[in-house]
Amino acid sequence: MKQVLFICTGNYYRSRFAEALFNAEAEERGLPWRATSRGTDIYIAGAHNVGPISAHAREALGTLGVALEPDLRHPLPLAEADLAAADLAIAICEAEHRPHLERDFPDTVERVEFWGIEDLHDTPADEALPALERQVRALIERLARQERPSPDR
């Protein structure tokens, strides 16, 4: 099983949404990929977070028919081992996350793919989460194409 790692700041809202949506879609499509997620600054970003996942993410996933596990874990900080274990690492917002990654993981930042989905203070959830959904679905399509055997094999 290959692993995609979604990275955001608090590992509470965007990355958790992406992780859950990706895993539901990859399983439905039979892709040999599984997602996990971590945060670059969970202790600062999470000061006002309640529970294991954002209500915005939970609601949007429910609307999409994505069931969440009953015992959801709480946000986890990004570690070097997470980056090393990932076949694909995606930071949800380049402007926000590149500086964190350059500060804390300068040797692996070049392996990270950067998207442009901003946090709630810049983009409301009803805009950000549909944009993130489109990105995740495009990623699923890209990985599905890569997994298909070529006619030459």
Q: Over the stretch 65-100, which tens digit does the pLDDT of each residue have?
A: 999 988 899 999 999 999 999 999 999 999 999 999
CA distance 96 to 21: 22
CB 32 within 8 A of CB 1: yes
Average pLDDT, the chain: 94
Number of domains in the chain: 1
**Residue 88 counted as domain residue:** yes
Say which CATH number the domain at 118 has. Answer: 3.40.50.2300
**Residue 153 counted as domain residue:** no
Could you tell me the residue range of the domain that residue 49 belongs to? Answer: 2-147
For residue 38, which phi and psi values (nearest 5 degrees)?
Answer: -150, 165
The pTM assigned to this predicted structure is 0.94
pLDDT value at residue 83? 98
CA distance 3 to 86: 5
Does residue 45 carry a pLDDT above 80?
A: no
